[in-house]
Every structure is written in structure tokens, then in C-alpha cells.
């Protein structure tokens, strides 16, 4: 049975949601639709040039690649067309009728009406085509893939679904025709279109052509180029202004926000290449995506090859955007050959070095700007402590931490600053990893450090605990977690010197007997001054938050070796010893409150509340020896 000429298809729910937001919201920068459609056209031209390296026939006798923008005032249409790679019918359905990426779905789920302006960022998620519906009430797309015989027509009014049909005689590439809404006539005006092209797409490395017009504003039939159509990264730095770099950034990053900083270099010699790398000012929505889709773009002799995120940047620098253009890699290099290519490895190392140089310059000369960067990307950069041992010291120097001695003027501190404030005889950098800053500041582990005026770094990012397992020292100073193992404080006597015999302490022995194997040991604390008890983990044990995270991932973990430390001078410990009948309940309560203070979760929260209420109501007064009323 012959296929019908036109078929109607329903949009996926996520597409329908996105189109509804686009079509029914107001935007302060409507012109971004043209930026997105030009960017898509440039990508299609890049892909054709790449595929034609191995099959010159894809040019079909026309290798003059470019983009055309045509306004028809009578029909109220605006058409953006390219002669790039084009799409097959299946690709049209996959690329426009569905949203395949989980990151995009998450973006849409979080996007409420109060965040309408964020739709201007949809180019980051590979769905910039839908921005056409900001200004159009109907969109028609005609495309034919290079080497294909039949074209495909896609059409939709943005409400519920789309029609798709075959086209027998379609030129190679893609044309997108926007049937403009009544109040969007400005996008039919020649000067407005040229202004937008100049602002957003001047450095697109393909000519963007508009029809020439006579003195009366009528089309002449000729076409002229409205952009520079040059690869900005190949131009000398002395010819470029900050404005040039900022104008190029949205094209390479699909980011409506201005870049924070950039680095541009031309390297000559054994390996010749140009690089232009940007630091974004705002984190992309999918920064935490375990499988990011885009990274720094790799060109070979101005021919786009790929932008896979792991080829030119390590994962901890996945937020970097930009371009690298090599003169030494072969044009027909495959993705498989790139895996173990020495030239690419050299370029990759140089890119990492340049980014770290840029960050170091920001941190030393523009502290406020660097603080903005750290708030957006610090937790990602710290992953490099684990991933990039060769640059570990540089990353640690760039890292910023909450601290017990930070204030409103300096909310985070550096390791160099910490070392400069260390007390006489202090040889260790003390730190605490916990799941929130408020919990860290209330931790009983800090009590002796506050009493003695010793600074402690407070680490609250999930990556911190992993990272500190990989760090041995910084500038000759070793690190010590104040929640693990024995404390080694400057000027403090060891237990052997002080004559203390922890194994013979009768109170610790009784509490240990009451708790059984729930704790590894019970001992008097050198940490506590105000709290009755705290938990101390073994040197290699994970925090409660990290254990919970790994448990949710299905990992089976051994039971931690927890030590319960007690403060015998605390009033509650004195009441505990006077309340013989409830000694075991007191012991259990000491453990439970220590678990909570450590950021852990109780197996039986109701039981904890019941015990606490009972103990408060009936505990004896140690001075009278009688039960309270």
C-alpha cells in the first residue's frame, strides 16, 4: 500500500511543553531565534564539509557553502536556508519531533512560568530550532540530505503536532520558513536583520547573505554578505577587541550570558594550532550531567571535526567552551584514530595549561571575578584533584573553602591563606567534611579547635570527601580530618605522656557494654568542651552522607568502625551515672545524638524521641540524688 503524501504526528510531551512556553510567553530578546537558526545552519555546513572529505560527491557540484536569509513582506515570511548536509526523513522525525536527551527533559521539568526568560537558553540543549515559534505562528521546513533523492517537508503551527510529507525536487540542505505573527513585522525589515546578524553571527565562518536593496528598499535580485565570514580564532589578537570576543562567544557556546574571561593563542613550531577558550559566567543547566553532549570544538584547517567533551578537555573542565584549530592533524582523521593521537594529546595538555593559567590570573588579579567563577564551577573544578594528579597542586591553590575564621568580607579562604595563619608548631591543615555548612558550624568536633583558636576548613561539597582521600599534602603541610582518627594538635601531650589509660576507664567500659557492637570503642574525648558526645570515624571510613549516596547507587559497604567519644565533665554524663536504672537508655541516647550531629540518619527516629522524652521527664538531679517531678 502506497504511503500517503502527508502524515500527521503528535509531538512528544516534552516538545509540546516547550512549544507552549515559547508560544505563550513574552521575551526581552526575541531576536535570539535568528541566532539559533543561523547556528543550526552553520553546523549543517560544517557537517557537510567534514563528510565530504571522504565523499566529494556530497557537494553535488556545488562547494560554495553559505547561508541565505530572505524576507517576503507580502507573504509575511522569513526564510533561513543553507546548502549544508540536510536531513533524511528519519532524521527530521528524530531531530525535530522528539527530545532525546534526558538533560533537556530535566530542563523542561524545572522550567516554570516564573522562569520564562530561561527559554532563551534552549540552544544549549540542542533544541534551538523551536525558538522559531517565538515570532512565528507557523513554521515550514524543507530539507534534503546530501546524496539523497527525495526531500522532506515538515510543517507545524506549534500546537500539538506536525505534518510531514515527501518533496520530489528539493535542493540540498535545509530551508526554514517562518510565517510571522502579526506583531513581529520588525523581522521583515532589512536593517533589523542585518543588525541581528552583525550582533550575534558576525564571526560565523560561512557567508550569511541577504538580498541587496535599491534606494527605495526593493530587492535587486543580488545577494551580499552581511557578516565577516571569517574564523575569528585564526585572526591575530591585536586585531580583535573585547567586543569581538564577546560577540563570537554565543556562536560557539549557545549561551546568552556574556563570557567571564577567555584566552586566545596561536602556537607555532612542532605542533601548529590556534585555540580560543572561554570561561562561561553562568553554569550550564546540564553541568552535572554524567554524559555531557558538547565541549570544545575541534577544527582541522578550519574544517569542523567534532565537539565531543572528552577529546580536548578533561571532565573537570567540562564547562570550558571554545575552539581549537590544528594544522597538523590529517583532515580525514577518524574518531577512532583520535583516541591515541600524540598531537591531540599535546594540544589537550596545552589547553588544560592555558585554562589553569587563565584561572590563576583571575584569582590573583581579579578576586571578585574569580569568586563569581568559583561559586558557579568550583565544585566541578575540585574534581581535578582526583582526575589530574599532575596538576593537583595548581588546582588546590585555586580552590576556595569555607572556614571557621572566614567572615562576611572573605566568605571563603585559600590554602595559602590558611597556612599563613597557622599557629606556631602547627604542621597539619585541619578540615571537616559534612553535608551542609550549617551542620559543619554546629559540629561538636570543632569545640576544642574553637577553644584553642585553631582554624578548620569546612568542606560541604559531595566531591570533597573523595578529593581529600587523594590529597597527601600541600606546601609541605599534611591534611587531617578532625572527624577521623586521633587528633594531633600543636602543643598537645599524647595519652602516653599524660599517663592516661583509656582501656581501663570504667565509664567507657560500661557504655561500651550497653551499646555492644554498634560502636568499635568508647573513649574519653580530647575534642569536646561543650557537647556530651561525638562520633569519630576510622581514617578510611566514609561520611554518613557519602555512605548514603553510595547505598542509593546499589553499593554494599562494610560497617564503619565508629568510635563514640564522651565528655565525662558534661552535666548529662553526670546525670547518666546517677540514673542507674536508665543507664542503657542514656548510652543509646548518647550514640543517637552523636549520629545526628555527624550528619547521619537514625534507623529509629521515633525511638530516639521517645527515649529523649522519658529521660528528660525522669532523670535524677545529681545534686539531690532524687528523681525530678
Confidence at residue 199, expressed as pLDDT on a 0 to 100 scale? 79
Confidence at residue 628, expressed as pLDDT on a 0 to 100 scale? 44
**327, 272 Cβ separation under 8 angstroms:** yes
3-state secondary structure of 259: strand
Tens of pLDDT along 6-27? 888 877 766 666 666 665 554 5
CB atoms closer than 10 angstroms to residue 77: 17
CB atoms closer than 10 angstroms to residue 269: 5
CB atoms closer than 10 angstroms to residue 598: 22
pLDDT mean over 80-85: 97
3-state secondary structure of 349: helix
Higher pLDDT, 104 or 244: 244
Confidence at residue 494, expressed as pLDDT on a 0 to 100 scale? 44
Confidence at residue 68, expressed as pLDDT on a 0 to 100 scale? 97
Q: Is the pLDDT of residue 329 over 60?
A: yes
Mean pLDDT of the chain: 84
C-alpha cell at 616: 528528660
Strand order in the sheet with 477-481: 402-403, 457-459, 428-433, 477-481, 473-474
**How much of the chain exceeds pLDDT 70, in percent?**
83
pLDDT mean over 215-237: 86
Which range is least confidently modeled, 148-152, 551-555, 574-578? 551-555
Which range is least confidently modeled, 35-49, 246-260, 613-627? 613-627
Confidence at residue 97, expressed as pLDDT on a 0 to 100 scale? 61
In SS3 terms, 374-434 reads as HHHHHHHHCCHHHHCHHHHHHHHHHCCEEECCCCCCCCCECHHHHHHCCCCCCCEEEEEEC
Confidence at residue 286, expressed as pLDDT on a 0 to 100 scale? 72
Confidence at residue 482, expressed as pLDDT on a 0 to 100 scale? 92
Per-residue pLDDT band for 549 (boundaries 50, 70, 90) equals low
Tens of pLDDT along 354-374? 999 999 999 999 999 999 999
Confidence at residue 427, expressed as pLDDT on a 0 to 100 scale? 92
Q: Is the pLDDT of residue 522 over 70?
A: yes
260-265-269 Cα angle (round to 5): 160
pLDDT mean over 553-577: 84
Q: Is the pLDDT of residue 100 over 70?
A: no
pLDDT mean over 609-627: 68
| CATH number of the 233-376 domain | 3.30.230.80
Per-residue pLDDT band for 116 (boundaries 50, 70, 90) equals very low
Tens of pLDDT along 293-315? 778 988 887 777 777 777 889 99
Across 215-224, 269-278, 406-415, the highest mean pLDDT is recorded for 269-278
Per-residue pLDDT band for 548 (boundaries 50, 70, 90) equals low
Confidence at residue 119, expressed as pLDDT on a 0 to 100 scale? 46
C-alpha cell at 439: 551542620
Tens of pLDDT along 134-152? 899 999 999 999 999 999 9
Q: Is the pLDDT of residue 239 over 80?
A: yes
CATH code matching the domain that covers 401-492, chosen among 3.40.50.11260, 2.20.25.10, 3.40.50.150, 3.10.20.600: 3.40.50.11260
Rounded to a whole number of angstroms, the distance between the first and last alpha carbons of the chain is 91
Higher pLDDT, 540 or 41: 41
Residues in the chain, total: 629
**203, 251 Cβ separation under 8 angstroms:** yes
pLDDT mean over 600-620: 79
CB atoms closer than 10 angstroms to residue 156: 25
Contacts of 620 (CB under 8 A, 6+ apart): 575, 578, 579, 626, 627, 628
Q: Is the pLDDT of residue 601 over 90?
A: no
Q: Is the pLDDT of residue 71 over 90?
A: yes
Residue 117 to residue 121: CA distance in whole angstroms: 8
Higher pLDDT, 100 or 352: 352
If we measure between CA atoms, which residue out of 129, 174, 132 comes closest to residue 151?
174
Contacts of 515 (CB under 8 A, 6+ apart): 522, 564, 587, 588, 591
Residue 83 to residue 419: CA distance in whole angstroms: 61
pLDDT mean over 52-79: 94
Tens of pLDDT along 473-487? 999 999 999 988 888
Confidence at residue 605, expressed as pLDDT on a 0 to 100 scale? 86
Name which CATH class applies to 502-629.
Answer: mainly alpha
Per-residue pLDDT band for 616 (boundaries 50, 70, 90) equals confident
Residue 483 to residue 535: CA distance in whole angstroms: 7
Q: Is the pLDDT of residue 61 over 90?
A: yes
Confidence at residue 497, expressed as pLDDT on a 0 to 100 scale? 39
DSSP letters, 422-482, are PPTT--EEEEEE-S-HHHHHT-GGGHHHHHHT---EEE-SHHHHHHHHH--EETTEEEEET
In the block, residue with C-alpha cell 528539493: 170
If we measure between CA atoms, which residue out of 42, 67, 127, 64 comes closest to residue 323?
42
CB atoms closer than 10 angstroms to residue 2: 4
Confidence at residue 544, expressed as pLDDT on a 0 to 100 scale? 67
Tens of pLDDT along 531-547? 999 999 877 776 666 66
**194, 223 Cβ separation under 8 angstroms:** no
C-alpha cell at 227: 557578516
Confidence at residue 295, expressed as pLDDT on a 0 to 100 scale? 84
Domain ranges of the chain: 6-227, 233-376, 401-492, 502-629
Confidence at residue 412, expressed as pLDDT on a 0 to 100 scale? 92
340-341-346 Cα angle (round to 5): 120
Residue 198 to residue 405: CA distance in whole angstroms: 50
**434, 599 Cβ separation under 8 angstroms:** yes
Q: Say whether domain 6-227 belongs to CATH 3.30.565.10.
A: yes
Confidence at residue 270, expressed as pLDDT on a 0 to 100 scale? 82
- The residues pairing with 87 across neighbouring beta strands, listed in sequence order, are none
DSSP letters, 45-59, are HHHHHHHTTT-GGGG
CB atoms closer than 10 angstroms to residue 50: 19
Amino acid at each position: 500500500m502506497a504511503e500517503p503524501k502527508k502524515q500527521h504526528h503528535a509531538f512528544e510531551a516534552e516538545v509540546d511543553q516547550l512549544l507552549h512556553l515559547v508560544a505563550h510567553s513574552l521575551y526581552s530578546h526575541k531576536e535570539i531565534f535568528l541566532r539559533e537558526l543561523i547556528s543550526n545552519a552553520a553546523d549543517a555546513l560544517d557537517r557537510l564539509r567534514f563528510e565530504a572529505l571522504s565523499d566529494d560527491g556530497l557537494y553535488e557540484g556545488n562547494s560554495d557553502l553559505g547561508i541565505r536569509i530572505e524576507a517576503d513582506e507580502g507573504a509575511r515570511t522569513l526564510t533561513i536556508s543553507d546548502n549544508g548536509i540536510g536531513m533524511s526523513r528519519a532524521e527530521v522525525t528524530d531531530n525535530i519531533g522528539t527530545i532525546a536527551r534526558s538533560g533537556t527533559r530535566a530542563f523542561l521539568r524545572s522550567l516554570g512560568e516564573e522562569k520564562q526568560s530561561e527559554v532563551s537558553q534552549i540552544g544549549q540543549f540542542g533544541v534551538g530550532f523551536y525558538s522559531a515559534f517565538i515570532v512565528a505562528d507557523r513554521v515550514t521546513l524543507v530539507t534534503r540530505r546530501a546524496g539523497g533523492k527525495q526531500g522532506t517537508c515538515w510543517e507545524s503551527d506549534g500546537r500539538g503536532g506536525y505534518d510531514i510529507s515527501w518533496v520530489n525536487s528539493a535542493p540540498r540542505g535545509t530551508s526554514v520558513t517562518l510565517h510571522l505573527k502579526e506583531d513581529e513585522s520588525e523581522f521583515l525589515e532589512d536593517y533589523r536583520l542585518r543588525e541581528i546578524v552583525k550582533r550575534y553571527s558576525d564571526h560565523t565562518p560561512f557567508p550569511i547573505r541577504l538580498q541587496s536593496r535599491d534606494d527605495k528598499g526593493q530587492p535587486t535580485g543580488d545577494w551580499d554578505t552581511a557578516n565577516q565570514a571569517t574564523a575569528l580564532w585564526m585572526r591575530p589578537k591585536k586585531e580583535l577587541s573585547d567586543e569581538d570576543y564577546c560577540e563570537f562567544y554565543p556562536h560557539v557556546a549557545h549561551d546568552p550570558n556574556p563570557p567571564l574571561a577567555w584566552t586566545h593563542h596561536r602556537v607555532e613550531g612542532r605542533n601548529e594550532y590556534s585555540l580560543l577558550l572561554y570561561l562561561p559566567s553562568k553554569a550550564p543547566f546540564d553541568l552535572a550531567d554524567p554524559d555531557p553532549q558538547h565541549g570544545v570544538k575541534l577544527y582541522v584547517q578550519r574544517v569542523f571535526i567534532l565537539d565531543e567533551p572528552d577529546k580536548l578537555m578533561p571532565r573537570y573542565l567540562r564547562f570550558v567552551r571554545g575552539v581549537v584549530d590544528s594544522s597538523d592533524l590529517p583532515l580525514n582523521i577518524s574518531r577512532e584514530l583520535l583516541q591515541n593521537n600524540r598531537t591531540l594529546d599535546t594540544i589537550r595538555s596545552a589547553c588544560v595549561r592555558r585554562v589553569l593559567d587563565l584561572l590563576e590570573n583571575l584569582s590573583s588579579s581579579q578576586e571578585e571575578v574569580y569568586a563569581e567563577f568559583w561559586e558557579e564551577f568550583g565544585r566541578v573544578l575540585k574534581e581535578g584533584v582526583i582526575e589530574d594528579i599532575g596538576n593537583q597542586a595548581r588546582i588546590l591553590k585555586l580552590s576556595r573553602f569555607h572556614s571557621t575564621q572566614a567572615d562576611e568580607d572573605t566568605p571563603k579562604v585559600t590554602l595559602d591563606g590558611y597556612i599563613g595563619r597557622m599557629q606556631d608548631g602547627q604542621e597539619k591543615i585541619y578540615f571537616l567534611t559534612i553535608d551542609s555548612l550549617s551542620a559543619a558550624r554546629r559540629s561538636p568536633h570543632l569545640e576544642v579547635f574553637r577553644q584553642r583558636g585553631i582554624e578548620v576548613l569546612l568542606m560541604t561539597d559531595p566531591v570533597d570527601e573523595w578529593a581529600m582521600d587523594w590529597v597527601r599534602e600541600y606546601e609541605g603541610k599534611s591534611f587531617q580530618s578532625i572527624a577521623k582518627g586521633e587528633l594531633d594538635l600543636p602543643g598537645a601531650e599524647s595519652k602516653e605522656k599524660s599517663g592516661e589509660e583509656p582501656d581501663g576507664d570504667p565509664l567507657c567500659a560500661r557504655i561500651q557494654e550497653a551499646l555492644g557492637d554498634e560502636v568499635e570503642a568508647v573513649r574519653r574525648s580530647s575534642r569536646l568542651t561543650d557537647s556530651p558526645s561525638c562520633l569519630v570515624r576510622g581514617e578510611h571510613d566514609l561520611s554518613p552522607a557519602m555512605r548514603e549516596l553510595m547505598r542509593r547507587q546499589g553499593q554494599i559497604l562494610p560497617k564503619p568502625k565508629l568510635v563514640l567519644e564522651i565528655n565525662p565533665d558534661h552535666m548529662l554524663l553526670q546525670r547518666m551515672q546517677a540514673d542507674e536504672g536508665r543507664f542503657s537508655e542514656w548510652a543509646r541516647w548518647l550514640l543517637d545524638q552523636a549520629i545526628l550531629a555527624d550528619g547521619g540518619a537514625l534507623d529509629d527516629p521515633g525511638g530516639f524521641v521517645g527515649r529523649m522524652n522519658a529521660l528528660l521527664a525522669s532523670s535524677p538531679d545529681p545534686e539531690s540524688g532524687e528523681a525530678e517531678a
